[in-house]
Chains A and B, each alone.
Chain A
């Protein structure tokens, strides 16, 4: 930039904020169209779930609003059991995933140790492994360890999916926290782990929010492993349970949409909790990633 002549400060400030009304309308229109496309499919499912099952496929937005789809779902199917199983699996995955990826990310961000580069590469390459090649051998391992049909088996498997990405993100996030803070911890006689736990982790909230969000969504929405590992009505998670549902109800959109709405609720809650931090957390992670 060749600003040889010093320009008065007052000149440059308003320039960027200025926008013609036409441009503003254009921007808002674009955003509105995009938002409608983003929200509509989900909204449509919500509206459908509130119609009586026999009107599920009408184009009306509202038709004799009722909760019968929900009451049928909760009373006549093991939906709540599946829901509980999913909640357990996703909750454990989130807690463990956040903890493990935070420690890994911190170690990679702060220490130089033999095997670091290899670890970083492994974490990236892990993303490339196709489910299809892993699923049968993992199934066998789980069978050998007696973890089939156990939430623990699924949790461990999900950790292998979620943690590599999360560890990269956390590393990027920790990179943005000044090292002077670590040093002050050492000066006060804290161990590296103590420094991490008491000083750095509380500062990494946005990163943790993103990691938690990602782990939860991964575990909550995973289909392939869930349907392969869990059998028997009482052990299924939602993904597996819904597969059964599809067979049982065929094209019954009413109950299916009620189930979908209930499934989306916990994810939406986690999302609301995390969304404030998403951009900050992701930017640190991805920029440095």
Chain B
């Protein structure tokens, strides 16, 4: 039996299965290919639940969504039942019309513009604040765990509760912010009722929500940088900024790239904050692509499934292009991920 072979090979070599001797209690002398099959079998069995659920719940809807985006489906012509009567679907295939409409029309591009502004400002602010706080928390400082506990709090509160809290603060007539301003003799600010203020307000709320995740991830990254590096740099006379620039930043590279990518994707699709805070208003000022697509299929009449799907597919394409581009840039800089 080959049980005593170092089974690093379990990881390294799937093809070279001879070295692998997990006997699974049977101690049988089966052929090499069978053993490799059994390894794969285990791996596949372990990932099967995820794969199946994703295939059914994401795969099928995606295909269906893409199909709908090529039709003129809306509430009036999809299959539906009125009483006992089944009315078959009567929508038609229209090719890429929806896409040309979306791309040539002003609405999509306008919404996209704001979505990009929203994503870039949220991600960069969250990252900067998260990095700053993580750096402070990584020092030896009294009450560190108490601070950490309080700073992570926004993450632990369910989204709709914190959004409610912010709506309460922002409320134009009764909100605390305006009352405090009034106390200082300043006129009430239309936090959520003026297009520009509303944009600033939703960004502020989302940054508030997003900082804890960034902070925790970056703090973890900081803690994995060996302290000796800093000591050595200090002996060489490196200034605080140089240490940050040449040790901290490179040390945080892999964490940062992952969290920035994830956070960009999440922010781009951040449905609850916009939906619950402003519903995209005033007018359509704070509507991002996702909330607008949701509006098409749930809030306008007749519900426009085709256009909603078109926007959804465009969102997906944009994000995939972004991720591929992002990864390519990283790879050029020597990062294999």
A interface residues (Cβ-Cβ under 8 A, vs B):
1-3, 7, 11-13, 15-17, 19, 24, 27-28, 30-31, 34-35, 37-39, 41-42, 44-45, 48, 57, 59, 100-101, 103-104, 106-108, 110-116, 119, 122-138, 140-141, 156-157, 159-160, 163-165, 167, 179, 182-183, 186-187, 189, 191-193, 196, 213, 217, 220-224, 228, 238-239, 242, 251, 253, 256-257, 260, 263-264, 267-268, 270-271, 275, 278-284, 286-289
Contact = CB atoms under 8 A, between A and B. Distances in A.
Given A38-B151, A132-B308, A133-B309, A280 B220 contact: yes
30 contacts: A16-B230, A31-B136, A31-B141, A35-B147, A38-B151, A41-B169, A45-B164, A100-B50, A103-B46, A110-B11, A119-B50, A123-B50, A126-B54, A132-B311, A133-B62, A133-B308, A183-B6, A186-B10, A186-B22, A193-B42, A196-B46, A223-B159, A238-B158, A278-B152, A279-B216, A281-B220, A283-B217, A283-B221, A287-B254, A287-B255
Interface stretch (B120-128, B193-201, B270-278): B270-278
Given A27-B136, A134-B61, A104 B53 contact: no
B14 A217 contact: no
The majority secondary structure among interface residues of chain A is: helix
Given A134-B61, A191-B25, A128 B269 contact: yes
B133 interface: yes
Among B13, B160, B166, B316: residue with most chain A CB under 10 A: B160
B157 A15 contact: no
Contact of B234 (A15, A57, A283, A286): A15
A267 B158 contact: yes
Nearest to A289: B258
B158 A135 contact: no
Contacts of A278: 152, 216
Given A34-B151, A41-B168, A186-B22, 8 more contacts: A42-B161, A48-B168, A57-B171, A111-B11, A128-B315, A128-B319, A192-B22, A239-B160
B232 interface: yes
B290 interface: yes
B233 interface: yes
A159 B223 CA distance: 31
B300 interface: no
A239 to B, nearest CB: 6
A34 B272 contact: no
Contacts of A111: 10-11, 14, 39-40, 42-43
A163 B165 CA distance: 28
A113 B44 contact: yes
Interface string B58-80: 10111011001000000000000
Report, nearest first, the 7 A-B pairs whose CB atoms are least far apart: A283-B220, A133-B312, A137-B61, A221-B158, A132-B293, A271-B156, A57-B174
Nearest to B219: A279
B147 A128 contact: no
Interface in B1-34: 3-4, 6-8, 10-14, 21-25
